[in-house]
Amino acid sequence: MGKLELLKVENNISLPEHTEKIVVEPSCLTTIKQVVEHFAYSETVPELKDIAPHVVRVLNRDYSKVLIGGKSRLLMVNACGVPMYIIPRECCIHNLDLSISYRATTPTGKPTTKTVNVFNIFMESPLANKFDSVEFNPKYTGDFGTTKNLFTGSKYEASKISIKLVDKTSLFCFVTEHYPKALRFFEHLHDNICDGDWVAFQQFTAWLSDIINTPAVRPLFGVVMRSDEKGTGKSLIYEVMSEILGNMAFSSSTVDQVFGKFNAHLQNKLLVCGEEMSWGGKSETSSKMKDAITSSTMQIEPKGIDVITIDKFYRVMLIDNNEWLVNASKDERRYLVLQVNPQQAQNSQYFAAIMQNGKAIPAVCEAVFHVLSAILHDVDMTRAYATEALMEQKYLSMNSVEQWLCEVFDKETEVTLDGCGGISFTNRLKKAAIHGAYLRWFDDTRPLTKDRCSNPRTFGRKLVKLLSGGDEKILHSNNHGYLINIELARDYFNQSYSVE
């Protein structure tokens, strides 16, 4: 017991009483809850004119009044930079605790006390932020006129020096001298992502540079990166750009989030990345992918508001390991397809100069931004450079008859069907023989298209359609067979499909 009593005595410490009351001025309050509590515990009930300026000052940081579709809404931009249009009445209902009592008088002049929600004060105040429209417009930085602009510019300051994107040596010397922390990124982009192809690297680098320098001008093609191996650093490009762009970049592995109907989250984006995403053999997905790349507008449907059409500013990047990523037409121009070199796959030491703990290093990203902002170029951004990887996507996107002809015409010597059906391909061909050669090729090859043309009439119509163009007659058909000008047929086919 003695020890317990001693403990009580030791803890029985008398503290000096505060004799002065700490007074906080309303102008020093930074949150709306602080404002509400301040006036709730004031010695006298305040008047509304004394409350309103402080309520509006604090709410102006996160909210605005906006007229959408002829209706007044409370506008809040969320952490992703996407506008949220809130019905004021609903906001008051969900924030009943944010109400303040104030002095008032009855119609007969008697004093009384009333209660008002802070959001009602905000909507009625002439001091509240007010806009007639909301846009994401990279042509301007920040709000302009009566428009709330969701584009607020970059968090970095652009480079004050410049470099023309004309050759590898001058660019890499510039990076090494001025922004060495960005060197590994551009080495990876050139050596691995573009597999040492300068033209592909030049166009991809210009594509990235334009996001920084001319964000309001969209290129007419997207970038597709694929590799058979994992860990080749494909996603690293997006991770660096995401750190640079902040909430103006978006990535998802769900097709509907990138190409789906509910797309309001994309209205303030400059870069949209589909991770582990391909067209999946679905023509609807393929059409949406192409529209996302080339269309200059998009329709969004915010909650409680009619569908609206807005300008679209985002670029599309696709990353996957699948063999057949895009449905590429014979004159495809929408995709810069890059077959990533796997030489640094799973090399954590190599990528450590760019990424740490799964995230892009901020200092590296800032250096990459400075390089991209310094680049001047005259690269054509209206159509993608035709890489060998694009040719492969074109081939995979052909129907089986087209693929069979491609195999036949790929022979550099005299055109035969040896290895593509087992018969000689002379100028005069029997219909049954050539159809049989196609069927044997299909059964041996098993192409991904899986569209075996078993009906000889259907096969014949497709063949005639494929070889009936050009200035000279390439193919003559009658009941007995086909008469084909082999050299003209090969030249016409290769020209039509941009096959070199």
Domains with residue ranges and CATH for the chain: 26-131 (no CATH), 163-391 (3.40.50.300), 398-496 (no CATH)
Which residues partner with 366 through β-bridges? none
What is the pLDDT, as a whole number, of residue 163? 96
Burial of residue 370 (CB within 10 Å: 0-12, 13-18, 19+) is buried
What is the pLDDT, as a whole number, of residue 484? 66
What is the pLDDT, as a whole number, of residue 184? 97
Query: Rounded to the nearest 10 degrees, what angle do helices 32-40 and 48-59 cross at?
Result: 160
Which pTM value belongs to this model?
0.82
Radius of gyration of the chain (CA): 33
What is the pLDDT, as a whole number, of residue 231? 92
Q: What are phi and psi of 412, to 5 degrees?
A: -80, -20
Contacts 24+ apart (CB under 8 A), 384-387: 384/203, 384/221, 384/332, 384/333, 384/334, 384/335, 384/336, 384/337, 385/199, 385/200, 385/203, 385/336, 386/498, 387/197, 387/200, 387/336, 387/337, 387/338, 387/339
* Cα gap 450→460, rounded to integer Å: 18
Q: From first to last of the 500 residues of the chain, give the pLDDT tens digit.
A: 443 333 333 444 444 554 455 567 888 999 999 999 999 888 889 999 999 999 999 999 999 999 877 788 899 988 888 888 888 888 888 888 899 999 998 888 899 999 999 999 999 999 999 999 899 999 999 999 999 999 999 999 999 999 999 999 999 999 999 999 999 999 999 999 999 999 999 999 999 999 999 999 999 999 999 999 999 999 999 999 999 999 999 998 888 788 877 788 899 999 999 988 777 777 788 888 888 888 999 888 766 677 888 899 999 999 998 888 888 888 888 999 999 999 999 999 999 999 999 899 999 999 999 999 999 999 999 999 999 999 888 888 888 888 888 887 776 434 444 444 443 444 556 777 788 888 888 888 888 877 889 898 888 888 877 776 544 555 666 665 666 666 777 777 777 776 55
What is the pLDDT, as a whole number, of residue 17? 53
